[in-house]
Chain A
Amino acid sequence: EIVLTQSPDFQSVTPKEKVTITCRASQSIGSSLHWYQQKPDQSPKLLIKYASQSFSGVPSRFSGSGSGTDFTLTINSLEAEDAATYYCHQSSSLQETFGQGTKVEIK
């Protein structure tokens, strides 16, 4: 099983600040890494697929980068509505897995 480890687990950020969340895979997964946003009491929503491709309708302040084992989700100029838990997900192996999540709180 490929383990995805996100850091940090929790981040408290002021509006307009830049947020960086990392996801490290236990083995190389190429670009088969996707990012989701889950707000309280809602289902997850796709933000970024294949490491860096923005999904339709996602604000341009969200971007992704990386390949192999190290990946980054960046939120430029955080807005209050971005308070959520963010998950990475790998589809490289037959047993797909998710990271443990990073909770972003607005100060």
Chain B
Amino acid sequence: QVQLQESGPGLVKPSQTLSLTCTVSGGSISSGGYYWSWIRQHPGKGLEWIGYIYYSGSTYYNPSLKSRVTISVDTSKNQFSLKLSSVTAADTAVYYCAGRGYGKSFDYWGQGTLVTVSS
């Protein structure tokens, strides 16, 4: 079964770039079958889809975040990454990585990591 684990700084200063990595185990990113995704949840709030990437490098981003988001993949490390630029306090959230199957549901999720934007 696919397992995912997020890693990265828990504190980012305003105007800087948030960077997170998701390590996938239990399967190869480059085997196909999944779009590797990022989703966030503001404290006490609902879920917001950020975007996803296929192992080939094709990306799809939420239009509301597209100008600030970059998702990349490193198949040699079985990892994919999120960069969110020019962050503000409104970007404070728990960030989840997830595997989106061809059925377009988010089948597997990481445990999530809280990122706080504060000076």
Contact = CB atoms under 8 A, between A and B. Distances in A.
Chain B associates with chain A = yes
Nearest to A49: B105
Contacts of B107: 46, 49, 55
B47 A98 contact: yes
A99 B109 contact: no
B15 interface: no
Contact of B112 (A43, A50, A98, A100): A43
Interface in A27-54: 32, 34, 36, 42-46, 49-50, 53
Contacts of A34: 104-106
Given A43-B112, A87-B47, A89-B47, A95 B63 contact: yes
Contacts, number: 56
Interface string B76-119: 00000000000000000000100001011111111110000000
A38 to B, nearest CB: 8
A32 B49 contact: no
Interface residues of B, number: 20
A46 to B, nearest CB: 5
B49 A98 contact: yes
B62 interface: yes
Contact of A43 (B48, B101, B109): B109
B46 interface: yes
Contacts of B67: none
A107 B109 CA distance: 29
The majority secondary structure among interface residues of chain A is loop
Most buried by B among A32, A43, A46, A50: A43
Nearest to A42: B111
Given A94-B60, A95-B63, A95-B64, A44 B49 contact: no
A98 B39 CA distance: 11
Contact of A87 (B46, B63, B101, B111): B46
A105 B96 CA distance: 24
8 contacts: A42-B111, A43-B109, A50-B103, A55-B105, A89-B105, A94-B60, A95-B63, A98-B49
